[in-house]
Structure 1
């Protein structure tokens, strides 16, 4: 199959899905679906982070960093503090030999 045909087929699959997503903003969804869609970003984030943290040989260090970073972000509501605190906790656990 030629590269042009592959690109056109990828466009044919991707474009309608994006168009549908943009058109959902004009629809009035029932309250159940609005409440359901609020949990999608959290679910996607958890699906990306949890396997990387717990599926690693150094899962203890990563778990410590996640807990510290999450606690800092929850307490301060500042992403930068959470990131820096998580990194500091990870490197502290690594230096401590955990």
Structure 2
């Protein structure tokens, strides 16, 4: 399959999914589905973050500790930018401290 065909197929699929979302915007979901969909962002975020915690050899402890520090900052202050900044700083400091 040519790259142009793949790009066109991806564009059509993206357009179709967005059209469906806009078309059924007024649809009222039952409470079960509202409760279910409320946890989707947390699940997706967890699925992206957890595999990244086990990094290259020797970095896993630094990554896990930095993630814990970032989680505590996010829990305490509720500011995403602050959690990211503190997590990155903690990871850099722990890498330097642990020598990895």
- Tell me, in whole angstroms, the C-alpha distance in 2 between the residues paired with 1:25 and 1:33: 15
Q: Who is 2:38 aligned against? A: 38
- How many residue pairs get aligned? The number is 98
Unaligned 5+ segments in structure 1 are none
Unaligned 5+ segments in structure 2 are none
Q: Who is 2:81 aligned against? A: 80
- Distance apart, 1:71 and its partner CA: 0.3
Where 1:60 maps in the other structure, the secondary structure is helix
1:1-98 paired onto structure 2 within 5 Å: 5-57=5-57, 58-97=59-98
Give CA-to-partner distance per residue, 1:6-37, whole Å, 9 cap, x none. Answer: 44433333322221222342100000101111
- Tell me, in whole angstroms, the C-alpha distance in 1 between the residues paired with 2:60 and 2:76: 24
RMSD of equivalent CA atoms: 2.1
